[in-house]
A and B are shown apart, each in its own frame.
Chain A
Amino acid sequence: KNEVEQSPQNLTAQEGEFITINCSYSVGISALHWLQQHPGGGIVSLFMLSSGKKKHGRLIATINIQEKHSSLHITASHPRDSAVYICAAERNYGGSQGNLIFGKGTKLSVKP
């Protein structure tokens, strides 16, 4: 079993739909990252959170530390949101930031 599990693996939505991507992890973490990877491979960091909820534009990320679960929500989805969304757990080594374990990603396709 992977230490970081994402669901669904693939998601197709119509423009305007509300989207939720889930992430569960089994390791102790200091933070949870949500990343966006575009078809060319480039990665953008969307959120880094260790508790509660963060919002940026149409994106919302939540985390429940007790349940070891995080969700990424996209409101009013748009075709330009089409990408692979990756959840990454930052291991609680007390050491260097960036020691990440990655989920396999959720490929989102938003149709116009």
Chain B
Amino acid sequence: GAVVSQHPSWVICKSGTSVKIECRSLDFQATTMFWYRQFPKQSLMLMATSNEGSKATYEQGVEKDKFLINHASLTLSTLTVTSAHPEDSSFYICSAPGTTTDTQYFGPGTRLTVL
């Protein structure tokens, strides 16, 4: 079946640095990918919709200048957390809709810890 991968699976960084998270669709093309985050003991929340060849669409309250999204190809979207702060520590997950089935394929997630 379709697989979505994320890299890295976990990252620890210092406050003020930037972190890039990759989301790849491994055996299918995804013109659209979605980025979510999940704080401890809270629901997943959609952050933004990544569109290949055009600007990402951000949900209300998500700073586009802080969370940079680049959908460079039909199989890769990246999320860069710029000037990370401890409150950005979270579990970041991407997903991509399947091309032939009514489903979403989720990546395994990236756990970000900002010290």
Contacts and interface: CB of A to CB of B under 8 A. Distances in A.
A44 interface: yes
Given A41-B108, A96-B32, A48 B45 contact: no
Contact of A45 (B36, B46, B49, B104): B104
A88 B38 CA distance: 14
Nearest to A90: B104
Contacts of B108: 40-42
Contacts of A100: 34, 36, 44, 46, 104
Nearest to A44: B106
B62 to A, nearest CB: 13
B6 to A, nearest CB: 10
Contacts of B93: 41, 43
A98 B95 contact: yes
B43 A45 contact: no
B34 A102 contact: no
A51 to B, nearest CB: 12
Contacts of B49: 96, 98-99
A103 B57 CA distance: 22
Interface of B: 32, 34, 36, 38, 42-46, 49, 51, 57, 91, 93, 95-97, 102-106, 108-109, 111
Q: 6 closest Cβ contacts across the A-B interface?
A: A43-B106, A102-B44, A41-B109, A102-B43, A98-B34, A42-B108
Interface of A: 2, 31, 33, 35, 40-45, 48, 86, 88, 96-105
